[in-house]
Amino acid sequence: MTNRIPVIIDTDMGVDDAYSVMLALSSSQLKVLGITTSYGNVDAEAATLNAIKILELLEKRVRVAKGASGPLFGKMRKYSNSRGAFIHGKDGLGNKGYSLSEPVHIEVETDAVDYMAELIKKEDTKVTIVSLGPLTNIATLIISYPELRSRIDGIAMMGGSAYSGNTLPAGESNIVADPEAAQIVLQSGLRIVMCGLEATEKAYFIKDDLEMFRLIGGSVGRFYYDMTQDYMSAIEKLSGERKAVIHDSVPTAWLLNPSVLKARACHVEVDLNGQYTRACTVTDEICAEAKPNVMVAFELDRDLFVRMHIEAFKQYR
Ligand code: RIB
Ligand code: CA
Q: Give the model confidence (pLDDT) of 151-178 as tens digits.
A: 999 999 999 999 999 999 999 999 999 9
Question: Does ligand 1 lie within 6 Å of residue 20's CB atom?
Answer: no
Q: Give the model confidence (pLDDT) of 4-63 as tens digits.
A: 999 999 999 999 999 999 999 999 999 999 999 999 999 999 999 999 999 999 999 999
Q: What percent of the chain has pLDDT over 90?
A: 92
d(CA 179, CA 277): 11
Annotated catalytic sites, by residue?
A: 247
Please provide the distance, in angstroms rounded to a whole number, between the alpha carbons at the two ends of the chain: 25
Residues 6+ apart with CB under 8 A from 6: 30, 31, 33, 123, 125, 126, 127, 128
Question: Does ligand 1 lie within 6 Å of residue 17's CB atom?
Answer: yes
Q: Give the model confidence (pLDDT) of 67-112 as tens digits.
A: 999 999 977 765 444 677 889 999 999 999 999 988 888 889 999 9
Question: Does ligand 1 lie within 6 Å of residue 281's CB atom?
Answer: no
- Identify the three-state secondary structure at position 183: helix
Q: Give the model confidence (pLDDT) of 104-122 as tens digits.
A: 888 899 999 999 999 999 9
d(CA 151, CA 239): 41
Distances (CA, A) of 265 to 261, 283, 297: 13, 10, 9
Q: Cα(236) to centroid of ligand 2, in Å?
A: 19
Domains of the chain in start order, with CATH, are 5-200+247-316 (3.90.245.10)
Residue 1 has pLDDT above 60, yes or no: no
d(CA 230, CA 221): 16
**Which among 174, 176, 197 is the best mutation to test ligand 1's pocket, defined by most ligand atoms within 8 Å of the CB?**
174
Q: Cα(153) to centroid of ligand 1, in Å?
A: 23
Question: Does ligand 1 lie within 6 Å of residue 18's CB atom?
Answer: no
For ligand 1, what atom is nearest to the CA of residue 172?
Answer: 1
How many Cα atoms occupy the beta-carbon half-sphere of 212 within 13 Å?
A: 14
Task: Provide the pLDDT for residue 203.
Answer: 98
Q: Cα(70) to centroid of ligand 1, in Å?
A: 16
Q: Cα(1) to centroid of ligand 2, in Å?
A: 31
Q: What is the DSSP letter of 4?
A: P
Residues 6+ apart with CB under 8 A from 223: 57, 96, 99, 100
Distances (CA, A) of 174 to 15, 163, 283: 14, 15, 16
d(CA 243, CA 249): 15
How many Cα atoms occupy the beta-carbon half-sphere of 105 within 13 Å?
A: 19
Question: Does ligand 1 lie within 6 Å of residue 186's CB atom?
Answer: no
Residues 6+ apart with CB under 8 A from 134: 12, 38, 39, 40, 68, 71, 174, 177, 178, 181, 182
